[in-house]
Amino acid sequence: MKIIVVGAGMGGLCAGISLRQIGHDVEIFEKVREIRPVGAALSLWSNGVQCLAHLGLGPQVAALGGRMDRMAYLDGHDGTQMTGFGLTALYDRAGHRAYPVARAELQAMLMREFGPEHLHLGQELVAIEQTDAVVTARFADGSEARGDLLIGADGAHSAVRAHVLGRNLPRRYAGYVNWNGLIEADPAIAPADQWTTFVAEGKRASLMPVAGGRFYFFFDVPLPPGPAPGRESLRDDLKAHFAGWAPPVQALIDRIDPARTNRVEIRDIDPFDDWVRGRVALLGDAAHNTTPDLGQGGCMAMEDAVVLQMELRDRPDQPGAALTRYRDRRAPRTAALVQRARRRCDITHAKDPAATEDWYAELRREDGSRIIAGLRLTIEGSPLDEPAREI
Ligand SMILES: Cc1cc2nc3c(=O)[nH]c(=O)nc-3n(C[C@H](O)[C@H](O)[C@H](O)COP(=O)(O)OP(=O)(O)OC[C@H]3O[C@@H](n4cnc5c(N)ncnc54)[C@H](O)[C@@H]3O)c2cc1C
């Protein structure tokens, strides 16, 4: 079949790779001329890494990933450790490590694997038409593409979603602002093999190891939505939000490059399950937009790409049924993830300050088992762990 994928983020590229592997003729159309991912880095948990390994990209992602063997929470004010524990037992059980990776490097690797000849940059989808026989994508420059199926992997502000649902969906502000970037790893700030998070006042300052001796850092601060202050005040803004915090947090703020630090107001979308209309289906953030509090949005897009591959492989003569079955398998897991991330978001960011204080007290008693159980809840249940099905 000829399959049109709209969007060359991690979801669209994984879908392009997965569908090509089962013999389809795939063309990806991407709005921007030069891909500059929003956000510096992200954590690919074992379920996302498992999907990339299934697509034959295990060594490639391992080469980009930082070695994150441990996890620790520290009191943001005095820097004392609240809890710290190893992650390797979790990885052994899951069969795959987790890899924090720089987004631009992940994106470049996926683009290389998909191949540039079928990737069309600078093509913004503006309209979709479909009949019983064909789907037509129309682009802002007046060109068009025809296919048997169209996969909308065009992210949180998806134009394909508006076609599928017949309306736009509002995005909900989650109540906090996130700043993120990359710095050189420094043991004076945090150990180089550990995911380190300083917490207090419903705020976080966090560091994860990325390949090449770097840390991915992020800060979260509960704030009302509104116009972003300019970059020139970024360091002073962080200094004010984290005034009185422990020396490693101050050293981190001193070290960042404001010109290369992203500021994002965090939003999500209420789960919905009408992901398919005729020959068109949604994938990734277009289908399920979560807050990043479980670090799973990108991993879920990768799971989507794998399930879409399985369903189209198993039902080659019934693409409509394959899309419906894909939706049926993915919508419940991703909806539960969005809701769990919201609950985690509210506790982390002091929506109810008493609940957040309870969480801090819990962290001081934590030996790792509760947090690992929480991580397992999302990592397990990946489509590649499901038992084989009768076709
Ligand atoms: C602060 C933050 C931290 C995060 N941390 C993690 C993490 O640790 N782990 C994790 O797994 N996930 C994380 N995520 C979530 C992750 O970034 C997303 O889930 C992931 O990028 C979704 O991929 P996607 O391909 O669906 O969408 P996107 O990456 O948004 O890609 C969509 C693409 O479609 C293109 N496009 C849009 N409109 C059109 C159009 N009309 N025509 C053509 N092209 C179009 C865009 O230009 C873009 O390239 C985080 C998100 C945020 C905001």
CATH number for the domain spanning 378: value is 3.50.50.60
Per-residue pLDDT at 217 exceeds 50: yes
| DSSP reduced 3-state for 178 | strand
pLDDT at position 36, please?
75
**Does the beta carbon of 178 lie inside 6 Å of ligand 1?**
yes
Separation of 23 CA from ligand 1 center, angstroms? Answer: 26
User: Among 109-118, 173-182, 376-385, whose mean pLDDT is lowest?
Assistant: 376-385
Classify residue 209: in a domain, yes or no. Answer: no
Query: Contact at 8 Å (CB) between 68 and 211?
Result: no
The separation between the first and the last C-alpha atoms of the chain, rounded to the nearest angstrom, is: 20
Query: Contact at 8 Å (CB) between 325 and 315?
Result: yes
Question: Which residues are 6's β-sheet partners?
Answer: 29, 152
Question: 0.85 cut: is pTM over it?
Answer: yes
Classify residue 261: in a domain, yes or no. Answer: no
| Residue 301 vs residues 36, 93, 283, 322: alpha-carbon distances, Å | 18, 22, 6, 17
pLDDT at position 387, please?
62
Domain count, the chain: 1
**Does the beta carbon of 293 lie inside 6 Å of ligand 1?**
no
Separation of 11 CA from ligand 1 center, angstroms? Answer: 8
Classify residue 380: in a domain, yes or no. Answer: yes
Per-residue pLDDT at 79 exceeds 70: yes
Per-residue pLDDT at 235 exceeds 50: yes
Mean pLDDT of 183-199: 97
Classify residue 180: in a domain, yes or no. Answer: no
DSSP state string for 271-307: -----EETTEEE-GGGT----GGGS-HHHHHHHHHHH
Classify residue 253: in a domain, yes or no. Answer: no
Classify residue 93: in a domain, yes or no. Answer: yes
- Quote the CA–CA distance of 33 and 163 in Å, as a whole number: 24
> What is the per-residue pLDDT across 115-145, written as a single tens digit (0 to 9) for each?
999 999 999 999 999 999 999 999 999 999 9
- The amino acid sitting at 261 is T
Nearest C-alpha to atom 26 of ligand 1 is from which residue? 284
Nearest C-alpha to atom 27 of ligand 1 is from which residue? 155
pLDDT at position 391, please?
38
Closest CA to 204 of 214, 194, 195: 195
Name the residue range of residue 160's domain: 2-171+268-385
Closest CA to 158 of 280, 333, 306, 291: 280
pLDDT at position 37, please?
67
- Quote the CA–CA distance of 27 and 25 in Å, as a whole number: 7
Classify residue 210: in a domain, yes or no. Answer: no
**Does the beta carbon of 16 lie inside 6 Å of ligand 1?**
no
Q: What percent of the chain has pLDDT over 90?
A: 93
- Quote the CA–CA distance of 25 and 250 in Å, as a whole number: 52
Separation of 7 CA from ligand 1 center, angstroms? Answer: 9
Which atom of ligand 1 sits closest to the CA of residue 156? 30
Per-residue pLDDT at 388 exceeds 70: no
Backbone dihedral angles phi then psi of residue 225, each to the nearest 5 degrees = -70, 160
Cα of 45 vs its chain's centroid, Å: 10
Backbone dihedral angles phi then psi of residue 235, each to the nearest 5 degrees = -65, -45
> What is the per-residue pLDDT across 163-183, written as a single tens digit (0 to 9) for each?
999 999 999 999 999 999 999
**Does the beta carbon of 378 lie inside 6 Å of ligand 1?**
no
**Does the beta carbon of 11 lie inside 6 Å of ligand 1?**
yes
**Does the beta carbon of 204 lie inside 6 Å of ligand 1?**
no
Mean pLDDT of 289-306: 98
Nearest C-alpha to atom 9 of ligand 1 is from which residue? 295
Classify residue 250: in a domain, yes or no. Answer: no
**Does the beta carbon of 217 lie inside 6 Å of ligand 1?**
no
Per-residue pLDDT at 306 exceeds 70: yes
Q: To 5 degrees, how large is the angle CA 330–CA 333–CA 336?
A: 140
> What is the per-residue pLDDT across 21-74, written as a single tens digit (0 to 9) for each?
999 999 999 999 988 766 799 999 999 999 999 999 999 999 999 999 999 999
**Does the beta carbon of 280 lie inside 6 Å of ligand 1?**
no
Separation of 244 CA from ligand 1 center, angstroms? Answer: 34
Q: Which two tokens stand for residue 228?
A: 């972003």
**Does the beta carbon of 43 lie inside 6 Å of ligand 1?**
yes
| DSSP reduced 3-state for 122 | coil
